[in-house]
Amino acid sequence: MSTIDSTAGPSLLPAAFAAWFSAKGWQPRAHQMELLARATAGESLLLIAPTGAGKTLAGFLPALTDLTRRGRLPPGSAFTGIHTLYISPLKALAVDIERNLMKPVEEMGLPITVETRTGDTPQAKRQRQRLNPPDILLTTPEQVALLIANGEAPRFFKDLKYVIFDELHSLVTSKRGHLLSLGLARLRRLAPGLRTIGLSATVAEPMDLRRWLVAQRPGAARHAGLVTAPGGARPIITILKSKERVPWSGHSAKYAMPEVYEAIRDHKTSLLFVNTRSQAEILFQELWNINEDTLPIALHHGSLDVGQRRKVEAAMAENRLRAVVATSTLDLGIDWGDVDLVIHVGAPKGASRLAQRIGRANHRMDEPSRAILVPANRFEVMECQAALDANYLGAQDTPPVGDGALDVLAQHVLGMACAAPFDEDALFAEITAAAPYTGLPREKFGRIVAFVATGGYALKTYERYARIRKTQDGLWRVSNPQVAQQYRLNLGTIVEMPMLNVRMVKRGAKGAIGRGGASLGKVEEYFLEMLAPGDTFLFSGKVLRFEGIRENECLVSQAFSLDPKVPAYAGGKFPLSTYLADQVRSMLDDPHRWGGLPEQVRDWLALQRDVSALPKRDELLIETFPRGSRHYMVAYPFEGRLAHQTLGMLLTRRLERAGRRPLGFVATDYSLAVWALDDLGYSFAVERPSLASLFDEDMLGDDLEAWLDESFMLKRTFRNCAVIAGLIEQRHPGKEKTGRQVTVSADLIYDVLRSHEPDHILLEATRNDAAAGLLDIQRLGDMLARIKGHITHRRLDRISPLAVPIMLEIGREPVAGEAQDSLLAEAAEDLIAEAMGVAAI
């Protein structure tokens, strides 16, 4: 790693910059100068820096100094393409950066033009940008995909010198990141000399990001250079020690609201983070119930109406609010006035997520951030303590970049055909330079191209309808201009859940529903399916009465009740990270580490130790006990809800086969409960089946396959893949498909395809996705391997203290798979019972 002599620093800076720094009384920081020197010398670089370290300025310095030396182009000079592309995951961030960047540019009087281009940019401005590009363009991944799919892309990007990726750690792990990596591969072809600069928060695996930033070749991996900024002051984090009783289960943290309110009152501006929208709603309502001082407290989550969100953001920036209750929509680096306290309600799940959220408070590096963690239940107390330890240790976990998704590749291939006719081998060489696609076999790429052309089916009946065709010159080109038009409308990797607009209406005296009131935001359709007219629920900080659905809108009226029925159970959306899970297990195993835990939690653990056992770090504790007319088995793997759900499905299949008559299961982040008609404790004791064989790794073979075939989760994954790959469309010129239509047909397409062509490339893409994300199979496999030979079984007469939280969850889970039909049978029985009742009279 090269080091920069501090005396060599200033000479790299044009005079205007040196003067500007000294006028501000600032000194360029070492990492800013190092990045400038190495980028100017031609290196692509990853900058890892904590919030507030002047990351943005550092990223732009090479471009700003280069453009300053170039000077303003004289009128009448030849067309010049953009010089620097800045890409951010959020369009709000792009807009924010423009403001921050324009300040130094204007103060120094630099001869540089800076513009943004997002989905909100008017058509006229986009046209103008194509004819007369700015020097620096600030944009989003989706806009990059649009720009490179255009025939004018070579001209537009020919002079590109720098591509800056902000928040790279959050960009690369998703399908958006995959699409962007393919876009970058194309940019490299259009401007072979370009350098990349990645800006990232601290991450566990910087090698992944460094690989992502540069072109890969077959053979050894190549990496971008690394520049690291020193960390700032350590944050001051505490866990709320409530005088109230910490609940066994649940996610609302209602018990702690008076103390949270106290904390808000004691600080200037607080940000309250929660994991889900419904938690945000509940918390917001609880706070207003006790807001005796009528402090200005606002609500902010992704489902709210945009106008309303912008109002809250503006009020926050002007320091007019004392607190904002928010979900992850606020996760990333937008500047927010003078926040002096972050309160995190619920478990923080991944420790890196916690670090990011805490970085929100106080953007100056030299002062410590302040944060309070508020666990919602007893397991979360331990999780918070583990997260706390993790943060002090500086440990971070970010999901791995992973192999490039095939549906994303299909989208990109169509985009490239829209840009210009392509040669299949040349495009393959180009896309395998993108880090996520380096290992892609040539044959699979061929199948993707065939999929883009005609769907790639074994039954070749669609040749005459092909979207792209190979012509005599050997190049693939689009069949007609409508294909390109459809591509542009459907581009992107973010597939929305089917959402309905929530509209407030007035109820007439006779119950008639009036028309059009204010729009409050959007809510998922599956949530509404469980509501009957007259039910009340929380949304947008109000208790609303559900009136019905009209076309694409959910109609609601003001409910005259303070006690909403919140029918949908919504736990933490994010699974417990592997690292944090390990921390929680080792804490349980080591009573010396219980010191930081509240007394009631310590007592709970001690009681568990006395009546049953505490799970050891590397073993799996299994308890069995009778309750009511059922027999229960509770396992404590601590591997997160997704992995537990998969495990639960597989275990019930196996128990069924062993004749133990299982009835159901429920999974939380920490444990898994299965119940059956047979005495499971006895069955395991006499080894019918033995626990070792029940938990054998071979369940990930045939059982998994068999279950996947019927899994509703796979259908949801398929829908996303099908939309991203362009098999079904979310939008079509002239007519909008509603979310519902997309859902219904995707499920049916999945069924038809699976039964007739089970090895179709899109089903392969779906299985890959499901294995990685939805089902956490990798993690489950690691766990099964780890616990092999380390299963401890306790046969108990009654429920243990540690089992109480999960037993309270029973009945709150959504219904899945085979259980659906038993619900129908139950409803049908009502009719039979009615009929029998009549007959008996």
Partner 1 sequence: MQRLALASAKIEDFGAVSARTVVAGVEAVCDPLGALYLPETRLLVVSDLHLEKGAAFARRGMMLPPYDTLATLKVLEAVILRHDPAIVVSLGDNFHDRVGSAHLPDIFRAKITDLARGRDWIWINGNHDPDGTVDLPGQSADELHYAGLAFRHEPSLLSPAGEIAGHLHPAATVIRREKAVRRPCFATDGRRLLMPAFGLMTGGLDLRHRAMTGLFERPSLVAHMLGRDRIYSVRFANLIG
> Which residues bind to partner 1, rule: CB under 8 A?
451, 454-457, 459, 461-462, 465, 467, 482-483, 486, 529-530, 532, 550, 567-569, 727-729, 740-741, 744-745, 748-749, 751-757, 760, 811, 814-815, 818, 820-821, 823-828, 830-831, 834
320 and 296 Cβ atoms separated by less than 8 Å: yes
Between residues 588 and 721, which has the closer beta carbon with respect to partner 1? 721
Instruction: List Cβ neighbours of 374 (8 Å cut-off, separation of 6 or more).
Output: 239, 240, 253, 256, 260, 343, 344, 345, 346
Cis peptide leading into residue 689 (ω within 30°): yes
Q: Which two tokens stand for residue 161?
A: 């010198």
Q: Render 495-538 in DSSP notation, one character per residue.
A: PPPPEEEEEE-PBPTTS-B-----EEEEEEHHHHHT--TT-EEE
d(CA 14, CA 8): 13
- For partner 1, the closer CB: 509 or 532: 532
107 or 751: CB nearest partner 1: 751
Return phi, psi of residue 208, to 5°: -60, -45
Closer CB to partner 1, 81 or 726, in the complex: 726
Distance CA 736, CA 729 (A): 9
The least distance separating partner 1 from the CB of residue 723, rounded to whole angstroms, comes to: 11
Number of Cβ atoms within 10 Å of the Cβ of 730:
18
Alpha carbon separation from 550 to 10, 370, 556, 698 (Å, rounded): 65, 47, 11, 49
Nearest distance, CB of residue 339 and partner 1, angstroms: 37
Q: Which is nearer to partner 1, 85 or 725 (CB)?
A: 725
Closest CB to partner 1 among residues 228, 490: 490
d(CA 659, CA 640): 28
For residue 326, the SS3 value is strand
Q: How far is the CB of 454 from partner 1 (least distance, A)?
A: 6
Cα angle 291-297-303, degrees, rounded to a multiple of 5? 125
Question: Smallest distance, Å, CB 533 to partner 1?
Answer: 9
Minimum distance, C-beta of residue 505 to partner 1, in the bound complex (Å): 15
Smallest gap from residue 506 Cβ to partner 1 (A)? 19
Q: Cα–Cα distance between 253 and 379 in angstroms, integer?
A: 13
**Shortest reach from residue 737's CB to partner 1, in Å:** 11
Q: Which is nearer to partner 1, 49 or 409 (CB)?
A: 409
CA distance 352 to 348: 9
- Cβ-based nearer residue to partner 1, 393 or 752: 752
In Å, how far are 88, 346, 380 from 283, measured between CA atoms? 31, 11, 17
Pair of tokens at residue 269:
């501006």
Task: Give 616 or 754: the residue with its C-beta nearer to partner 1.
Answer: 754
SS3 state of residue 838: helix
CB of 749 to partner 1, least distance (A): 6
Shortest gap between Cβ of 716 and partner 1 (angstroms)?
15
Of 391, 621, 526, nearest to 814 (Cα)? Answer: 526
Shorter beta-carbon distance to partner 1: residue 291 or 745: 745
- Compute, in degrees rounded to 10, the torsion defined by CA atoms 821, 822, 827, 831: 100
Task: Give the DSSP H/E element, type plus range, for residue 144.
Answer: helix 141-148
Specify the residue, 462 or 682, whose C-beta has the smaller distance to partner 1.
462
Is the Cβ of residue 785 or residue 824 nearer to partner 1 in the bound state?
Answer: 824
Minimum gap (Å) between residue 466 Cβ and partner 1: 9
Nearer to partner 1, 74 or 734 (CB): 734
Q: How far is the CB of 763 from partner 1 (least distance, A)?
A: 10
Assigned token pair, 391: 């943060």
Nearest-approach distance from CB 453 to partner 1, in angstroms = 8
What's the burial of 585, exposed, middle or buried (CB within 10 Å: 0-12/13-18/19+)?
A: buried
To partner 1, the closest distance from the beta carbon of 826 in angstroms equals 6
Q: Which is nearer to partner 1, 127 or 741 (CB)?
A: 741
For partner 1, give the closer residue by CB, 686 or 831: 831
| Helices 55-70 + 30-40 axis angle, to 10 | 40
Sign for the pseudo-dihedral over CA of 604, 609, 612, 616: positive
Least CB distance to partner 1 at residue 595 (A): 41
List all residues 6 or more positions away from 136 whose beta carbon is below 8 Å from its beta carbon: 60, 63, 67, 82, 83, 84, 85, 86, 101, 112, 113, 114, 115
Contact 85, 164 (CB under 8 A): yes
C-alpha 202/C-alpha 49 separation (Å) is 6
Under 8 Å between Cβ of 355 and 201: yes
Give 231 or 733: the residue with its C-beta nearer to partner 1: 733
What DSSP line would sit under 104-116, residue for residue? HHHHHT-S--EEE
Strand partners, 800: none
Between 41 and 825, CB nearer to partner 1: 825
**In this structure, are residues 781 and 697 in contact, taking their beta carbons and an 8 Å threshold?**
yes
Q: How far is the CB of 343 from partner 1 (least distance, A)?
A: 30
- Least gap, CB of 738 to partner 1 (angstroms): 11
Length of the chain: 841
Please, what is the minimum distance in Å from the beta carbon of residue 486 to partner 1? 6
